[in-house]
A = this chain, B = another copy of it.
């Protein structure tokens, strides 16, 4: 990456392809496009490094994209969406990935503008999402070369959704770990951990719901950039999106259940504590009273002089406490 930092236009890679043809162009400026573009082939222009905003602007102007497109691409808080324009379809989507662990989820916005002949992708960073695409594009027998630009965009969406699966799987693992901990050693679990989990799911939900809407909008779109041939493919991604959402909702429900179990465990614990106290106290408090009685200093206490007085008191203590224990046992307190 360091080697390229001196070349500000390095990010302008153009791939031209058709069923027979595949070529990679390195553009210095957009004006070079005038010579290259022809209607026989399809083109993929990938732009990254969001800091080079001027290029974004130039591209938008060159291809006559609607002014809101630039806003949408620039604003990295944009909700995923699909918008039909006369000359282009714009898709804003979000990639989810994690470099270390699930608590450090990273989100990258990927915008795609495409029409019959050209696909322009806008990336925030140079992440490797498009590498497999390049490989597939080089394969002369792949569907990517044969099918239209919409199939190309479908493969991108498919890759993004696959990534969502991976992330959900990671979260699911953590939820299961929490579940085990709650059952085995409550002390390890803090309610805050459970809620953090819930928050992660909420983050993803915020991304995946509009993504489903996006795909749904694709299915309903009557733009002529979308061929009938790609319908089964996009239906498939749609099914994936629905499944991810269902998975997500099931996990949210699991976490709600975890909170309930956590709370119940606290109650059960408290119950146990109270029982212990009650058993000990109800056994010994009456006995202590009796002991106190025979510790009184009245002059005229006949029992004190009895030969077996002391022994009787011990017998009394044992009988009373045994009866108490029996009572608690029968009440199934322990």
Residues of A within 8 A of B (CB): 66-68, 71-72, 77-79, 81, 83, 85, 143, 183, 187, 191-192, 195, 198, 202, 206, 232-233, 235-236, 239, 242-243, 246, 250, 253, 257, 259-264, 266-278, 280-282, 284-289, 291-301, 303-310, 313, 317, 331-333
Partner of A297, one of B282, B286, B296, B332: B296
Smallest Cβ distance from A210 to chain B, in angstroms?
8
Smallest Cβ distance from A232 to chain B, in angstroms?
5
Shortest Cβ-Cβ A-B pairs, 5 listed: A291-B292, A294-B296, A277-B278, A298-B310, A295-B295
Residues of the B chain whose Cβ atoms lie less than 8 Å from the Cβ of A310: 296, 298, 300-301
Partner of A278, one of B274, B289, B307: B274
Assembly CA distance A186 to B227 (angstroms) = 59
Q: A296-B295, A299-B304, A305-B299 are in contact. Are A280 and B270 (CB under 8 A)?
A: no
Partner of A304, one of B261, B282, B298: B298
Least CB separation from A66: chain B residue: B232
Assembly CA distance A306 to B297 (angstroms) = 11
Beyond A78-B239, A202-B250, 13 extra complex contacts between A and B, CB < 8 Å:
A67-B232, A68-B235, A68-B236, A191-B264, A202-B253, A264-B266, A274-B278, A285-B288, A288-B292, A291-B296, A297-B301, A298-B306, A299-B309
Assembly CA distance A291 to B79 (angstroms) = 73
Least CB separation from A202: chain B residue: B250
Smallest Cβ distance from A75 to chain B, in angstroms?
10
Residues of the B chain whose Cβ atoms lie less than 8 Å from the Cβ of A68: 232-233, 235-236
Assembly CA distance A242 to B294 (angstroms) = 76
Task: Give the interface centre of A232, A261, A309 by most chain B CB atoms within 10 Å.
Answer: A232
Assembly CA distance A79 to B237 (angstroms) = 12
Residues of the B chain whose Cβ atoms lie less than 8 Å from the Cβ of A257: 195, 198
Assembly CA distance A293 to B316 (angstroms) = 12
Smallest Cβ distance from A186 to chain B, in angstroms?
8
